[in-house]
Structure 1
């Protein structure tokens, strides 16, 4: 509070006389003062609450000088120990597991891995769901630890790079189109069957087709004809070649020969048909009705 006093003189006597005092009050009083104290108190409460929440978050999230809880920041990147749950997409250049444990990725719906180019377009994708696994890309390559190609597939072809492809299913393998392979072999003590239920089965090779059975028989069944075609010759190499069910031809003349000692000869028609004819002093194939 400031007090001011003024002194004045009269014109008649010249004696100074005092003038009425003026008092000015400086400061905040009344309801303004109470509001100011209340606002300061509210700020102190908010500050204490924020400080307590910060300390609680630091304690719950396990913040330390190396990172946050199981999440540690290292020179090579970020290391995460234990199980973690990601609610949103995760972007990373490389994800590795520990040397003594495997890497597991679990999801209640599906797990999707996407690769994008510089423009943000998806160039490769792998999605594993509860009922199916689906991959998308220009080509698929599976390599061994020695960087040897084991399997390669693109829009034109699929290549199996291993020395042996084994099909263990009881029904074998089903191919809708042609198959190119240098060798088809069954497992030991098991039979090998090549079958076409409704169409035809064709085997072709520029230098020959070799069919070999070391301990068993080679059997070929067909509802129509079995055609063996070769441009340079056909070789049947065996101790004995048997055609047990050849038909017996009939002579065109009325006086049929009884043959020599019940012997027969194998006749071949121009069409390739084989049949038996009773042997005589001369060949009886030309005078037979089978051709």
Structure 2
């Protein structure tokens, strides 16, 4: 599958196939047993969400003059105005509602017909790896090929799915595919699971975390595999295969949501597309 993907899209994405020896040179933690080759991209980037959630508002405020308001809920949005829970009213030409998995506070009727549902995921993080050990690039393995649409055109996808249904049915049942990435502090983030439905339980399941860690061990060895932190997240995802949900429920108001697990990848491009559409008075995907 990797070779087929590379032959179709490798030049476009700057990705190339590398042999097992080169893969272990780039990522020394890869398990040698069973490793035949890898698809490698030198262009992938990531941010630490804990840093980004603080740094982005600061950048917007100090670099672009954006006013940020915390500690108040937008509980009503009309043409030209946003009403906050503390009584303030913000006047505006355009309001863009990006409410994530909160479907009830603003425009609940629109969300009822949106085809969006909630997705709960479980994540883990190790302590800093000892001795300055570095993972190298972000790492994924076979289950990930079943999760992302980029690989749907592969002629061998069905065979891989049949194999996983036979060998690891519990992984497919809980939407598990395993990714690992390391931050500047040396901590390795590991995940994740995917549970879909409007009713989300706030509890993390240890059996699902153990499935993730068990699969991780088949392709990656960490000097310090101990889990230091666990958390869950919830995002809005389309049940109809769309990569985003963009609607204008009333003049001067836009809803932008439903990017699913690709939000950190697509958000800036989608924001530009939507704002260009606002200027035109309409929006079409990719326009």
Same fold (TM over 0.5): no
Larger radius of gyration, structure 1 or 2?
Answer: 1
TM-score (normalizing by structure 2): 0.16
- Please identify which structure carries the higher helix content: 2
| Larger RCO, structures 1/2 (Cα 8 Å, 6+ apart) | 2
TM-score (normalizing by structure 1): 0.16
